[in-house]
Each structure stands twice: as C-alpha cells, then as structure tokens.
Structure 1
Amino acid sequence: EIVRAAGPGLVVTDPGRTEAGARLARASAVRHVVLPDLNDTPEGYPGGPSAEARAPLAEAPDEADPCVIVFTGSGRPRGVVLSHRVCVLRTHPGCRPDAGTVLVCGFPPGHWSAWAALLRQWQARGTAVLLERPDPVAICAAVRGHRAERLVCAPETWAGVLDTAPHHLASLRFADAEAIGPPAAGPRLLEDIRTATPHARVRAFLTAPETGDVAVLDHADARRRPESCGLPAPGTEARVAGGELSVRGPLLFGGYFGDKRATDAALRDGWFRTGWPAAADADGHLRVYDGGEVPPRLRDD
C-alpha cells in the first residue's frame, strides 16, 4: 500500500531483502537496486565516489523541498511530507537539549520517531543506538552495554522496560516517554520512571508526524498537574477551538502527498487540526483526551 501510494521511481534494498524488493519493484514497474554488503565487496570495487557523483548538482535543492515522506494511519496510508527545513528545525538541539549524549532508541528503525531521534543525535554530535527489535530485554541490555545517558521509548514500551530490568538504567540522565498522539504518558508511569532513574530528567512528549513535538511535560509538573500533557513544545503555538486542539508554527508538515483534499481539510489558515479533543488551562497547560473520554466542559455540546 505504501509503495503504491508513494509512486516511487526507484526501490533500494540491502542484500537480505533482495527478493522482497524485487517483488515490490515489479508490482510498481520501477527499477530495483541492491546495495552491496560492505563486508562482502568484490575486489576492484571503487573505494570512493565517481567523478559523476562528485559533480555539483545542476540545481541546488531548496530548504522547502521534500526531504522525507512519512506514511502513517490505518487503512489507506497517508504520506506526511516533511521538508529539509522542517527536519532540521524539529531535530535542532535546542528542542530537546541533551547534546553529546549516547541515546538508545526504543522505536524500531522504520518508525518516524527513530528517524527524528537519529537526526537529533547527528545535529547534537551524539551517538545513537538503534535496535533491530527494540523489545524491553534488548533495550535494557543496550542501555547497560553502552552506558547510555538517554533513552526514548513509547509509554507502553517504558512499562515493559520497567518490568524487565530497571537496575540496568542507572546511567540514564534523560528519560523520555514519547507518545504518538493521545493518550500522553500518565503521571503514574512518569513516577515509576523517576523511581527507576533517580538521576535522570524525566519528560513526557506528545507528538505526531504532521506536527513534531506538540507538548512537553516534566516529571515535576506531572506531580502537580496529573491531568496535563504539558505546555506547547518550543516553536509550536496551540489553541483549542470547539473542543479540538489545533497547532501551528515552523515545525508543521507540508501536506499529505498526492492528497490535496485531505491537506486542505487538515490545514486551515496555517493551523493544523489534530482531531484530538482537548482543553487548555489559563496558564497554557494542555489537556488532551483519548478515545471515548470526553472533556468535562464538552459533555453538554
């Protein structure tokens, strides 16, 4: 479904996925290229780029040009278009200040949060540890083995990590629970993470492919405001209208690939409609509700 929606001109795989790549390429009528294994390179294979590869591009790319398309959603996938500029701004070290750390990523390599984490570490000149299968056992072993200072996981993954080997997390200085849409990490989970990582700064992030980080909540605020998912993230402006959360700012996506109708419905006057039921406190703290949960002030609407 994703290959069909993307309409690619080229499918690239490693040797281990040659058969699957060829099958996708045939179904899409595009060229298929298999990257050579660096540990099994034939003799005489050039060690550096060719003259053609070193030649300057005929037309320099613009920062507004698409950098990556993230496919998301159930059923028919939608391609979230992210420009070079948006990718840089979302992963700037000032957004999540933890420069120079060793990060263990609790998201699988194909997940868009893993992509963002990798770019974030590259910009901060830190080290990123990606796991082929980031289950709780592998995550705990990676944190201990690399003496990682930072771990980012989805809330449900964090729960498994804490049940597996919390004593392996002693080196952490940043513990991030990143929820892809509501519900955000709850105060009880953040308290459990804090207990297991007493020297770490514990934070909950609410995020989405279309928006990047929407809200950030520190552990201390979670204690005082158990219903809050935090304040709007740096670079993000939020508002609640008609009980729905909308956001705008330089981190927003550029639209849905090949779907103008969906883009026009989601982006209005520079605001992205998340579709999340929400409420806002007077001091800017956001409360986002999930599924059948209805904000108290909307029950009569």
Structure 2
Amino acid sequence: MRNTGLGGWPARRAMMTPERTAFVFEDRSVTYAEAHDRTARLAAQLRASGVGAGDRVAYLGRNHPAFVETMFAAHLLGAIFVPLNFRLAAPEVAYMLDHSGAETLIYAPECAGVVHALPDGPRRRVALGEGQYESWLAQGDPTPIDTPVDLADPALILYTSGTTGRPKGATLTHGNLVWNCFNLLLGVDVTSDETTLISAPLFHVAALNQTLLPTFLKGGRSVIMPSWEVDACYDLIDKYGVTWMFGVTTMFAAFARSPRWAGADLSSLRHLMAGGASVPAALIRTYQERGLVFCQGYGLTETAPGATFLEADQSVRKVGSAGVPVFFSNVRVVRPDGTDAAAGEPGEVLIQGPNVTPGYWRDPEATRAAFSDGWFHSGDLAVLDEDGHLYVVDRVKDMFISGGENVYPAEVEAAIFEHPAVAEVAVLGAPDAKWGEVGRAFLVLRPGAHVTAGALRDFLRPRLAAYKIPAHVEVVDDLPKTGSGKIHKPRLRGLPLPADALRPGPGGGHGSGG
C-alpha cells in the first residue's frame, strides 16, 4: 500500500479485524469492514467531483461517523481535511473556507442556516440530512484507492483563533498525527477491546487525536455522542460499558454534579483523560474518592496535541500537574532571554518533536514568529518542579478558555468595535463557576451614544459564536493605558465584578445558540 498516511488505516484495520465494531452512533454499529467500504465509496465520489491530492475538504457539523468517513476519504486521495467548529457564525466559517481554499464542504442539517448564509465558497456542498449524503456515498465505486501519501504530507488544517483577530490554520501532517498516537499509546494502556466515549467535539484536536484515532489504531470501539449531555453520558457508559473517555473541566464538573453521580455504576471506566484547561485539584479529588483517576496532559492544537502527560499512577502524588514530556517530544520552560528556567521558576513552555506542526497554513509570518531554533513557542507560562513535572500557571497571551473553547480577546474586540456606539473596548476572561471562564468586556462609548448589554449581544450574535460573546458587559469612562498608549489589561483584571455584571442576560457566555 503506497498510502502511508491515515487514509490507509480503514483498509488495514478491515484486513485485521473486519467484524469488530469501529463506531457506534445512535444505536447503529459500523464494523471496520463497513467503515472501509464506506470510506472507499466516499473517496470515489470526492475524486469524481474533482478532489485530488493537496485539495482541501471541509466538514461542518456535530459529531457523526460522517466526520470520520470524510476525513479518511480525503486522506485516501491525499487531500487535506478541514474540520470546522459548528458553533461559528457564517462570517467566521466563510473566512476559514476561503483561507483554506476548500472546494468541498460536507455539512450537517443543523448547520444549513450558516451554509446558506455563506456569500460564496465551496462549489460542492453535500448535506448529511434528507438522505443526500447516504445516497451520494452509496453511488460511489468501492474499488480500493491507493494514492501515494507520505507521512510528511499535510493531513489537517485546524483553525485556532489568532491573537490579531483572524484565525490561524495550524497544519498537521500525517506524521504529526501518527507520532501523537504513539505518544498517547505509550502513556495510556489502550487495548483492542477499548470502548471509548467520544463526547467532546471532534473538530477539537484532543477529541480526534487523543481518543478516536488511537482507539481506531488499536481496533477498539468508539461510541460517538453528537454533543455533550450529562444524562446521555451516564446512559452510554451503562449501555456499552465505556472504558475510556476524554473531557474538559466543565464536562467532568457537570458529570460529578449530576444526581446520578453517587449511585451510577462506573466500574467499567479504566481511563479518564482531561485537557483543554487545568483541572482543579478539588475536582480531581472528587473523582479519586469515587475510585476514578484522571490522566491529565498539556498540549496545543499545534502539537497534535500532546506535549506532556501525567500517567495514572502519578495522579495522586502530583495532583494538579500536567505531567512530564511525552515519550517522543521535548519540553522546555524558558526565561525571556531563552535560557532554561530553574525549578519552580515561571517561564514560557517550548516544545519540540515529530508531533509539532510544520507551521500555519498560508501564514509564513506567523510560522516564523512561532519558532526559534526548531522549538515551538506555546505562549503559555508554566513551572517545572524538581522531578520535571509541568504545572501550567498562566498564559502569556490573553487567550482564555471558556467551557473548553479557546477565546481570543482580539477577535471579540474587533467584532465589538464594529458597533457604532463603541469608541474603545477591552475584553478579558473572568472566572465562572460553570464554564471556568467567560468573557468580560469593558466599553468606552462615543459621546452621546448609548448601548445596553442585551443590545450589544444581539449585535454580536451574527458575528461571533455564542461562547465568544461576553457574559459581562461594563461601560466605563475610560480604560487604563500603558506609557505607550496600549490598554493596560492587568489593571482591569484586578477590578471586582459589579453586582449587575454577575447576572448576564440570555446569550451571554455559552447561552442559546452555543
């Protein structure tokens, strides 16, 4: 087989374990043989529509087996898969489609409104609903396709919000994904009889690369949830005997708050893996008291994503740590001058290894800025203890994480500044019991202008995903500035939330539409 990338995985798995279940979705099971057949047919249809090596194929929708089929089919042809966040507004999706140059878009029914609102974009659009996808796939030729693909070839373009207000497309090669799987499998004892719950969005690097792909590689079974829902999670664990699940802090906190927590049979769970943000020590202990142990890690989209990992047997002794460097990667914590920080001294996290992105799609300037001497600059602050365990303490950049979603204030500020009443704006993250952090916006209005928090959120809804819309909006007379005239955000962070900002209206944070 000339395809050494992910496109060859369905055929290889079908040869080894054809009758074993690959995916479960809404009570329907798909074997590895069926997954291979469906992927081959879809690849034939994509090829017939003009998709070839190096072309971009986008997917917009909630978790669904079609996500995986589209990805593997694109990789069979040597094409590049572009998974998109289904929570985004039409202008945001339009930018990513245009920037990536995607000619084909497969989308779910719930995203039809966004797709129909796109000004232009991919000439081939295939809807998952009303049988269009299934009939299109069924017409495909099942004859195996073997396009030469090298591990150095691009596999994914994953968009991560940019600090300048425009998303950047992190390019991950087939090799990046394979080496990340190796690192994961060395840190977690994944078995061929694994039943993995895919509950986080697959367009996120962790759900895809830290759970689904390693499970597929081992020949396990992935139970795919369309979206996260606490009761459905309990039901699926009980029904299928889930052994492994990944989640962000907000998901695990909600799971533990459920009235079903105390009485549910969770004995099948072997691995609980957390990422996206630091897990509070109190939450870790809540799970430990239930006999459940977290495997934590640290990483970024650009590192595919695993950079460090805390194995289960260290989870009690090193509570709150993100672990040590994964097996095939190197991690440093450095001072501003580039020298290594001492144990306990905060510094920026640098990462090097075969799992690290070669750069950003069509953005050589951002690529150059992200690397020095072969090391990727994370923009995150951390400390190493005497044993080499990493503790993430802050972020160099202003990005905050709300419910597992990265939010970059510059992008939100750019959207708010479009409002005619706004003269100046600063956005930062504020602590939130449910989402971890939510947006807090400080506005300086133009003379004589007026805007309410509700009206501003209404203005932002068609421009931003709901989770990016600030939960707290405060009008101030002026914003603190540095000597160079820049807004001094550290002073804003020290301000307590006013009483009226503690009760965000509908649509704030992760409100309706999120």
How does the TM-score come out when normalised to structure 2?
0.50
Letter of the 1:91 partner, please give it: C
Structure 1 residues 258-285: Cα deviation after superposition (integer angstroms, max 9, x where no partner): 1111111112221111111122223211
2:160 maps to 72
Tell me: CA distance 1:108–1:138, structure 2 relative to 1, closer, same or farther (3 Å).
farther
Structure 1 residue runs of 5 or longer lacking an equivalent are: 293-301
Tell me: CA distance 1:31–1:231, structure 2 relative to 1, closer, same or farther (3 Å).
same
Give the superposition deviation at 1:27.
Answer: 1.9
Tell me: CA distance 1:269–1:285, structure 2 relative to 1, closer, same or farther (3 Å).
same
Out of 257, 265, 269, the residue aligned to residue 163 of structure 1 is: 257
Contact 2:330 2:351 in 1 (8 A): yes
Out of 85, 90, 97, the residue aligned to residue 175 of structure 2 is: 85
CA distance in structure 2 between the partners assigned to 1:207 and 1:118 by the alignment = 17
Give the superposition deviation at 1:144.
Answer: 1.5
CA distance in structure 2 between the partners assigned to 1:48 and 1:10 by the alignment = 17
How many residue pairs match? The answer is: 281
Out of 97, 103, 108, the residue aligned to residue 196 of structure 2 is: 103
1:295 maps to none
Q: What is the SS of the residue equivalent to 1:133? A: coil
Contact 2:196 2:212 in 1 (8 A): no
1:254 maps to 358
Give the superposition deviation at 1:31.
Answer: 0.8
Question: Is residue 50 of structure 1 aligned with residue 141 of structure 2?
Answer: yes
Tell me: CA distance 1:104–1:10, structure 2 relative to 1, closer, same or farther (3 Å).
same
Q: What is the SS of the residue equivalent to 1:169? A: coil
Out of 323, 326, 329, the residue aligned to residue 233 of structure 1 is: 326
Tell me: CA distance 1:230–1:16, structure 2 relative to 1, closer, same or farther (3 Å).
closer
Contact 1:12 1:34 in 2 (8 A): yes
CA distance in structure 2 between the partners assigned to 1:285 and 1:266 by the alignment = 24
1:115-194 to 2 correspondence within 5 Å? 115-116=208-209, 117-164=211-258, 165-166=260-261, 167-177=264-274, 179-180=275-276, 183-194=277-288
Contact 2:279 2:320 in 1 (8 A): no
Contact 2:281 2:319 in 1 (8 A): yes
Out of 10, 27, 33, the residue aligned to residue 120 of structure 2 is: 27
> What's the RMSD between the two structures over aligned residues?
2.8
Tell me: CA distance 1:233–1:46, structure 2 relative to 1, closer, same or farther (3 Å).
closer
Structure 1 residues 37-63: Cα deviation after superposition (integer angstroms, max 9, x where no partner): 6967999x8957438x65654xx2221
Largest Rg, 1 or 2: 2
Structure 1 residues 13-72: Cα deviation after superposition (integer angstroms, max 9, x where no partner): 356655643543x522x31232576967999x8957438x65654xx2221111111111
1:221 maps to 314
Q: What is the SS of the residue equivalent to 1:33? A: strand
1:288 maps to 392
Contact 2:176 2:356 in 1 (8 A): yes
Q: What is the SS of the residue equivalent to 1:193? A: helix
Contact 1:149 1:174 in 2 (8 A): yes
Q: What is the SS of the residue equivalent to 2:394? A: coil
CA distance in structure 1 between the partners assigned to 2:137 and 2:257 by the alignment = 49
Structure 1 residues 230-266: Cα deviation after superposition (integer angstroms, max 9, x where no partner): 1112212111110111011111112111111111111
1:296 maps to none
Q: What is the SS of the residue equivalent to 1:191? A: helix
Letter of the 1:238 partner, please give it: V
1:206 maps to 298
CA distance in structure 2 between the partners assigned to 1:185 and 1:15 by the alignment = 34
CA distance in structure 1 between the partners assigned to 2:324 and 2:134 by the alignment = 54
Give the superposition deviation at 1:223.
Answer: 3.3
Q: Identity across aligned pairs (percent)?
A: 24
Give the superposition deviation at 1:226.
Answer: 4.0
Give the superposition deviation at 1:151.
Answer: 1.6
2:466 maps to none
CA distance in structure 2 between the partners assigned to 1:213 and 1:42 by the alignment = 35
Letter of the 1:32 partner, please give it: R
Tell me: CA distance 1:102–1:78, structure 2 relative to 1, closer, same or farther (3 Å).
same
Tell me: CA distance 1:36–1:176, structure 2 relative to 1, closer, same or farther (3 Å).
closer
1:273 maps to 377
Give the superposition deviation at 1:208.
Answer: 1.2
CA distance in structure 2 between the partners assigned to 1:217 and 1:41 by the alignment = 41
CA distance in structure 2 between the partners assigned to 1:260 and 1:247 by the alignment = 19
How does the TM-score come out when normalised to structure 1?
0.82
Letter of the 1:96 partner, please give it: V
Contact 1:11 1:21 in 2 (8 A): no
Q: What is the SS of the residue equivalent to 1:214? A: strand
Structure 2 residue runs of 5 or longer lacking an equivalent are: 1-91, 336-346, 397-514
Q: What is the SS of the residue equivalent to 2:307? A: strand
CA distance in structure 2 between the partners assigned to 1:112 and 1:220 by the alignment = 25
1:12 maps to 106
